Amino acid sequence: NAGVMQNPRHLVRRRGQEARLRCSPMKGHSHVYWYRQLPEEGLKFMVYLQKENIIDESGMPKERFSAEFPKEGPSILRIQQVVRGDSAAYFCASSPGLAAEAGTDTQYFGPGTRLTVL
């Protein structure tokens, strides 16, 4: 049973370019979360999605950032017109359903995409 998959693992962009990060949840998981981690810091929640729906985007910057989880295919985190401050590790996590139903908070993390903006 494959785990959460993310690609690319490393992404280098110049200022002003677009970054597109992909995440395929674990098989059977319908909930996807994106987190950002700056060096030497904890993970910061960005957005929570279910298929075709954004449920909670309270951690997403208001501009340049968007996320989607289409009916078919991976979840995409898109960063337009990247700036140096966007350099970070972006982690995707998935869970099988609502934590209240599952009785646990377990989220399964992918290996992350390390974005470097030159």
Q: Which residues bind another protein (CB under 8 A)?
A: 31, 33, 35, 41-45, 48, 55-56, 58-59, 91, 93, 95, 98-100, 103-112
Among the listed residues 116, 60, 42, the one whose alpha carbon sits nearest the alpha carbon of residue 84: 116
Q: What end-to-end distance do the CA atoms of the chain give, in Å?
A: 37
For another protein, which is the closer residue by CB, 14 or 101?
A: 101
For another protein, which is the closer residue by CB, 85 or 103?
A: 103
Q: How far is the CB of 22 from another protein (least distance, A)?
A: 15
Q: How far is the CB of 98 from another protein (least distance, A)?
A: 7
Q: How far is the CB of 118 from another protein (least distance, A)?
A: 20
For another protein, which is the closer residue by CB, 17 or 116?
A: 116
Q: How far is the CB of 5 from another protein (least distance, A)?
A: 11
For another protein, which is the closer residue by CB, 25 or 112?
A: 112
Reading the block at residue 20, the tokens are 């597109």
